[in-house]
Structure 1
Amino acid sequence: MDVIATQSLSPPELATGEGAELRKPHEMIVMVPRSKRVTLTGRRIYNALMQVSQARLAAMDTMPAADYMFEAPLPAILRTTGSSGEDRTAAKRYLKEMRGLEVDWESTAPGDGVKWRGFSMLSEVAIEVRNGENWVSWSYPPTIMAALREPKRWARIDLDVLASLGTYAAVALYEICARYRDNPGGVTSRKPVAWWADALSQVPAGTERREWRKFKNERLKSAIDEINSETDLEIELIEHKQGRAVVEVQFAVRRKRVAPKLRQASDVVDANLVLRAESLGIRELKLEGLIKEFSEDAVRVNIEVLEKRAANNKLREVDNAYSYLRSLLRNGGLDANDPPVKKGSRDVESELRDETISASELTAAQAYAARAEAAVPVAEWVNARMASIREELLSLSPERRQIFVDAAIEELTGKGMMTAVISRRVAQGDVLHGMVGAVVLGHYARAVYGPDWDKPDTEDMFGMRSANAP
């Protein structure tokens, strides 16, 4: 009996700290090509596109229109797949072929069979050069879009793990076995040998198959060895015979007690992080330098600070987003060029100077922690305030909301910040996220609540304080 472990159905989100995680719907695990051969690089790229799309969908309040185009820099996509720059030409060719490449999506559950027959992998795909770099835009058939946004059952696929596997059969087999990682029974479904040959092959179904004995010796054994040595799983082939002939196959799946060491996070820059940075005007090469110097986690946190800064027009304009981000990172989340963050009637830096041990005497880690802790009340209040105002924006009629969208577009255009990425998102109606969303929110908040909409009172943050408190 095929027992499926219960998984959380919370919205998919981007994994941090480890590899980029794809919550892959069960009905999309087995991909059998119908018209053309699928390459190893192509399958990796498709998984990376799905991971980027899933993270983007998780940030949206509603399902976007059927023709919504996702976007990402091609070099970042390739890095998440473990591919080199030499694969760029092949990747561009394969991406263009994906729209016409039809596949059958099959479930691994017993008796389910084909879930979706003859689906194109992508509805539309385009590659264009922006500032000397290749960018990919793509969309999905509505059924695939819905499955990515709200998968009912899914397998956790770590893209770093897939990048460590060097054959198509190993990648396809690992994805199937990953579904059973937490299965109490510890085995996959039993399937005919022909099913496994199709599921693990790059060539279209219906082509002449190798007999099972040869397929096992030529492809399957090396794939099993690769998975057992390079991933977090240990798998074992189980063959079921009728007489001397093998007719059905399944795999025992066990999670390793100690997972193998994969590539460091700094070696693979998250495509979503690159996308956010470039939307702010920070080139990928400069972002990589900051990640190497300060860590990807620190950069991700401070990118969010920079995005929210766009909503605060009472502070001076950020002329150089890269310099501003670097200043945030060097100063533990506080920009030395900005006015100090207020905490009641006293500022953060004053309180740090009043400590028995001054900030200059603390270690870098302690100083970072002290600044971050002191700034938390203000940041929490502002975040809650912005969330509340954003809900108000969502409740407006489209016509009323468009007034503030138009004002935001006019402001961004005047500042020379209306990039191709932002323009495309606005055209698609995605106006409440990222840079555009922050500026729209700012215009609405000032119109309704006045210029001090984001200035908290002391009591708002800390509750009632004594009248003679400092």
Structure 2
Amino acid sequence: MTDEAELPSRAPQRAQPTAEEQSVAKANEAIAIRPKRGRLTLLSRRIYNALLYHSQRQGVDEPEYRLALSELIGDARFNSNNTELLKSHLRDMQATTIEWSTSSSTLKRWVSSQLLGTVTIEEQGRGRPCMVTWRYPEEIKERLVKPHQYTRVLLEMSSQMRSYSAAVLYEIGARYLTSPGRLSMREDVMWWAAVLTGRSDIKEVDYRFLKRDVINKALAEIDALCEDFGLELIEHKRGRKIEEIQFRVVPKLQQRLGDIDAPNRNIFDLELVGRLITLGIKQDEAQDLYATTDEGQIRATLDHLDQRLRNNAMPPLKSPAAYFKDALKKGYAGVTATAASAPGPAPAASSLPVLTEADRLRRIRELWENDRVGQARAVFAEMLGSMQAETCSRFESLQLGKIAAPIARAWRRDGPASRIAGTTFFKWLAQETWPEEPTDRVLLDFALQRGVVGV
């Protein structure tokens, strides 16, 4: 936590950001947000942090803030240009009402406000960038853009979190890591339920389920991904009932990483969420599914569903969404295609997911990039020890100053064996080994070889 520090004013032309530049000074009051109306999601929190980061670089005196949409997408760590889904998250933030209370020896002040003010997206035509412009409500703008008491939150580290609750607890942990007692706020269970889920419609809470489904999973995620600290849950009882909880921040003296090892884990795949929504799954449910389920399992199940829908020998599916959920739960994606070969009428054309040519190319491009990362791992494994050392040394000299500090520390400790830094290293090695951009023909050949043309 830092007091009365100067934030950067409007930055000149943006250079390649360092890990320190890619941090947002987040007002302490804005970390544990309890929405009074509306709902916050993991992606909306990422977008909000990215907008706040750029607002602080541009300066508190600006009446409004402006940025290329592609830059916002990159800094929010998701990989789709689907502006309709982006707009829906911006609407969520505009519709979310928050209460902001401050007090001093002479004044107590309560403010109820939107999280975000007016937002404009301008599509300027071919050859010109799409721009996003935004404002904050005047009552809270200065406290957001130039806060007096704030916590430094690394965009890269925050983006590693796959669930909303873990993203919130990471920021709470960062806030209290440097406080004397390292104890978070102590609040009732209902308060924590709203803060950790981003929901304003919670009327009652069964603490057993909140602990099992939200808190424990978030703590495990923090333990696996955050190198600086872990969190311990502290329960306060009244009689036999747990009525209040708080968290103790525990610095990691001998840091370690857990067993979560998904390629490009820090990217929120909005395209994948979009495929779930196309099936008829509600947006909130699709995002929750994405946050709590292995990404590879979701992809495999979607691919299985696509094969099932294209099988003319099978009866039509009444609800592709219901079939997908059942297939995900029961692991149908591991069943061979012969299990879906029973005779029957052709599926209804209306039940087929609609994917544009651009959607298919983006999906194939993503698979191609993941394949290159896998090839880079194999190439590195076959190198002689001296060549591996030289490659690592080159990575350190070219990239180590550009990546987030926790990832850099993981690299210095574990090198390519690090679960979090290893992914960054092998993505870089793939780009260094095959620097040319793939043409549409290359992607098509790749898709034909892998049998994924119909994705």
What is the TM-score when the length of structure 1 is the normalising length? 0.49
Aligned to 1:92: 87
Larger Rg over CA atoms: 1
Aligned to 1:247: 243
Distance change in 2, residues 1:119/1:148 (3 Å): same
Question: Given that residues 40 and 93 in structure 2 are in contact (C-alpha distance below 8 angstroms), is that contact kept between their aligned partners in structure 1?
Answer: no
Task: Measure the CA separation in 2 of the matches of 1:173 and 1:122.
Answer: 22
Q: Does 1:9 align with 2:5?
A: yes
- Which of 83, 91, 97 does residue 102 from structure 1 map onto? 97
Q: Does 1:36 align with 2:32?
A: no
Q: Between the two proteins, what is the percent identity of the paired residues?
A: 29
Task: Measure the CA separation in 2 of the matches of 1:84 and 1:125.
Answer: 21
Question: Given that residues 189 and 245 in structure 2 are in contact (C-alpha distance below 8 angstroms), is that contact kept between their aligned partners in structure 1?
Answer: yes
Distance change in 2, residues 1:17/1:34 (3 Å): closer
Aligned to 2:112: 118
Task: Measure the CA separation in 1 of the matches of 2:88 and 2:244.
Answer: 37
Matches within 5 A, 1:181-200: 181-200=177-196
Distance change in 2, residues 1:18/1:256 (3 Å): farther
1:220 to partner: Cα distance: 0.8
Q: Secondary structure at the match of 1:99?
A: helix
Aligned to 1:144: 140
Distance change in 2, residues 1:78/1:159 (3 Å): same
Task: Measure the CA separation in 2 of the matches of 1:237 and 1:19.
Answer: 32
Q: Does 1:208 align with 2:203?
A: yes
1:29 to partner: Cα distance: 1.4
Q: Secondary structure at the match of 2:140?
A: helix
Kindly provide the amino acid, as one letter, of the partner of residue 162 in structure 1: S
Aligned to 2:215: 220
**Greater mean deviation of Cα atoms: 241-250 or 15-24:** 15-24
- Which of 149, 157, 164 does residue 153 from structure 1 map onto? 149
Structure 2 runs not aligned, ≥5 long: 12-16, 268-396, 403-455
Kindly provide the amino acid, as one letter, of the partner of residue 223 in structure 2: N
Distance change in 2, residues 1:260/1:185 (3 Å): same
Q: Secondary structure at the match of 1:234?
A: strand
Question: Given that residues 170 and 223 in structure 1 are in contact (C-alpha distance below 8 angstroms), is that contact kept between their aligned partners in structure 2?
Answer: yes
Aligned to 1:424: none
Q: Deviations over 1:334-366 (max 9, x none)?
A: xxxxxxxxxxxxxxxxxxxxxxxxxxxxxxxxx
Matches within 5 A, 1:378-457: none
Q: Deviations over 1:270-297 (max 9, x none)?
A: xxxxxxxxxxxxxxxxxxxxxxx97698
Question: Given that residues 34 and 194 in structure 2 are in contact (C-alpha distance below 8 angstroms), is that contact kept between their aligned partners in structure 1?
Answer: yes
Aligned to 1:288: none
Structure 1 runs not aligned, ≥5 long: 269-292, 299-470
Distance change in 2, residues 1:182/1:294 (3 Å): closer
Task: Measure the CA separation in 2 of the matches of 1:168 and 1:180.
Answer: 19
Task: Measure the CA separation in 2 of the matches of 1:213 and 1:251.
Answer: 17
Task: Measure the CA separation in 2 of the matches of 1:173 and 1:106.
Answer: 21
Task: Measure the CA separation in 2 of the matches of 1:97 and 1:144.
Answer: 18
Task: Measure the CA separation in 2 of the matches of 1:51 and 1:139.
Answer: 13
Kindly provide the amino acid, as one letter, of the partner of residue 118 in structure 1: S
Question: Given that residues 39 and 92 in structure 2 are in contact (C-alpha distance below 8 angstroms), is that contact kept between their aligned partners in structure 1?
Answer: no
Aligned to 1:322: none
Task: Measure the CA separation in 2 of the matches of 1:241 and 1:170.
Answer: 24
Aligned to 2:65: 70
Aligned to 2:436: none
Task: Measure the CA separation in 1 of the matches of 2:223 and 2:206.
Answer: 24
Task: Measure the CA separation in 1 of the matches of 2:129 and 2:254.
Answer: 39
Q: Secondary structure at the match of 1:200?
A: helix
Task: Measure the CA separation in 1 of the matches of 2:400 and 2:100.
Answer: 35
Q: Secondary structure at the match of 1:33?
A: coil
Q: Deviations over 1:398-444 (max 9, x none)?
A: xxxxxxxxxxxxxxxxxxxxxxxxxxxxxxxxxxxxxxxxxxxxxxx
Task: Measure the CA separation in 2 of the matches of 1:296 and 1:72.
Answer: 27
Task: Measure the CA separation in 1 of the matches of 2:2 and 2:92.
Answer: 36
Aligned to 2:48: 46
What is the TM-score when the length of structure 2 is the normalising length? 0.50
Distance change in 2, residues 1:75/1:258 (3 Å): farther
Distance change in 2, residues 1:249/1:74 (3 Å): same
Task: Measure the CA separation in 2 of the matches of 1:104 and 1:159.
Answer: 24
**Greater mean deviation of Cα atoms: 31-40 or 156-165:** 31-40
Question: Given that residues 46 and 76 in structure 2 are in contact (C-alpha distance below 8 angstroms), is that contact kept between their aligned partners in structure 1?
Answer: yes
Distance change in 2, residues 1:87/1:155 (3 Å): farther
Question: Given that residues 190 and 205 in structure 2 are in contact (C-alpha distance below 8 angstroms), is that contact kept between their aligned partners in structure 1?
Answer: no
RMSD over aligned Cα atoms: 3.4
Distance change in 2, residues 1:226/1:73 (3 Å): same
Task: Measure the CA separation in 1 of the matches of 2:243 and 2:40.
Answer: 26
Q: Secondary structure at the match of 2:176?
A: coil
How many residues get paired?
Answer: 256
Q: Secondary structure at the match of 1:47?
A: helix
Kindly provide the amino acid, as one letter, of the partner of residue 43 in structure 1: R
Task: Measure the CA separation in 1 of the matches of 2:92 and 2:189.
Answer: 29
Q: Does 1:134 align with 2:130?
A: yes
Task: Measure the CA separation in 1 of the matches of 2:151 and 2:117.
Answer: 24
Kindly provide the amino acid, as one letter, of the partner of residue 160 in structure 1: E
